[in-house]
Amino acid sequence: MINEFRNIAQQVLSKVSHASSDSERLLELRTAVSEISPNERAFLRKIFAQLLDAVVKNGASDIEIGGVGTVDKVWLRINGTKIPVDKLPTFSIDESTLLIFSILSQNQQTELLEKRNLDFSYSYLNNESGNEQRFRADVYFELGTVALNLRAISNEIRSLDSLGFHKFAVDKMYHENTKYGLSLITGITGSGKSSTLDSVIDYHNRTVNTHIIIIASPVEFIHKSKKSIVRHREVGSDVLSFSRGVIEAMRQDPDIVVIGEMRDPDTILASLEVADTGHKVFSTLHTSSAAESIDRILAEVDKRDIDRVRHRLADVLVSVVSQKLVPGISGGRHLVKEVMLMTPGIKAAIKNNNIGEIYMMINQSRDLGMNTLEQDLLRLYAERKISKETAVTFSNNRQFMVQMINRSIN
C-alpha cells in the first residue's frame, strides 16, 4: 500500500512548483489535492487510518505527523513519553502535508491557511475493534511547513467514584448539593483534565435531571443524554467563541454550563457572571495548583477590574482540582491531585489578596475533604505506587516534598 501511496503522492506533488515560496507551494498543493479523484482521496484516508491504528494498538495518547521537527518520522506519546516509531513508514514533508490536507475539508483548509492554526475533532472506524475512535486535532505551522497533533479521546469514561475524591469534594461539584458556583479542573497539557471533567459530567448525566450545555474547542467525548439532557456546542462551527457560547447559554435554560477552557478575559468574566446568576459552571485552566489558578484568573483581567473580579471570584468559586499524571513503579500512570474547597477562610484570603495563605489552609484541611498535591504524592509513595524521585519531581514544592517524605520514613 505504501508504494501505491508514493505513486499518488508523486502525481500530486508533480503539480507543485519547487521554486515557489512556502505559502505559494501550500496553495498549489491545496489546489492539487482538490483535483484528486474520490477513490484516491479515500485511499489517502485509508493510509491515514493505518497510522491511527498504531495509536490504538500501542495505547498511545498522541500522534505527531509532519513538519520539520518530526524528521520524516511518525511519533507517538506512550505512557507520557514521546518517541519516533521505526515500524511505521517515513513521510517527506510534502507527503505528510498531502496526508494532512486529505482529511481536511475545503473550509478547514482555508481557515488553516488564513489563521495558521486549526483545531478540530476527527474520528475514524478502527477495523480491529469495530469502534469509532475520536481524536482532538491541531494543525499548525512550523518553519513554513504543516504539522499535525492528534490526541486520542477515550471511548470510556472512568467513574467519578474511581478518581478518589473525598465525599465533601464530590458534594461541592454535584448539582444536587451545590446548585450554583464555579468549579475548576486545572493542570498542564496532558494531565487528564478533560477526562476528569467528562467523569463529572457523566456523574450528573447518570444521576440527576439537569440541562447540561458543553462549549468546547473542539468537542471531544460526546455524552449521550440519560437522566440529563446534554448539549454539545463546538467553537467555530456551532458558536463563534467561548465567550459568545457562555453568554448565549444564559438564554438556553441550562442548569450546568461546561466551558472547555477559560482562555481569555471575556470568557472569564462571562463565566463568573453565569455562576453568579445561579448556574453551575465547570471549566479548565492550564495551571498546576489551586492558588496559581486564582492568580491566573486575576492576571487575565484588566487591572481596573481586578478588585471587582477578585470579590466576585471569591463569591462564586466552590472548588478547584489541580491534577497531574505521574509514572508508576509498575508502569502506567497515576492520577495525583490537589483539591481546594471554598471555606470562609479561603474566601477571605481571596478577597483580601492573601493568596499565599491558601496553600497552608488546604494543607491543614484534610478533614474537610481537601489535600495539597504534595499530600497526594506522599499517599502514592506510601502505597509504593510511585518512587521517591517521581514524588519529588512532580511536586510543586520540592523542598517541602522531601521534608514530608523524610518525616514519613522517620
Question: Tell me: the pLDDT tens digits for 345-356?
Answer: 999 999 999 999
Predicted pLDDT at 79: 87
Global pTM reads 0.84
- The residues, any chain, with a CB within 8 Å of residue 372's CB and separated by 6 or more, are 338, 359, 362, 363
Predicted pLDDT at 19: 67
**Better-predicted residue by pLDDT, 206 or 190:** 206
Q: Could you give the percent of the chain with pLDDT greater than 70?
A: 100
Q: Is 23 exposed, middle or buried (0-12, 13-18, 19+ CB in 10 A)?
A: exposed
The residue type found at 35 is E
Predicted pLDDT at 266: 93
- Tell me the average pLDDT across 329-340: 94
- Tell me the average pLDDT across 31-49: 92
- Tell me the average pLDDT across 61-88: 95
CB 67 within 8 A of CB 147: yes
**Domain ranges in the chain?**
2-153, 160-371
Selecting from 3.30.70.360, 3.20.20.150, 3.30.450.90, 2.60.320.10, what CATH number does the domain 2-153 have? 3.30.450.90
Strands 229-234 and 211-216, by their bridges, are parallel
Q: Is the pLDDT of residue 392 over 90?
A: yes
What gap in Å lies between CA 374 and CA 336, rounded to an integer? 9
CATH class, domain 160-371, is alpha beta
What gap in Å lies between CA 140 and CA 301, rounded to an integer? 28
pLDDT tens digits along 191-214: 999 999 999 999 999 999 999 999
- Joined grid coordinates for residue 194: 478533560
Q: Is the pLDDT of residue 254 over 90?
A: yes
DSSP H or E segment with residue 55: helix 38-57
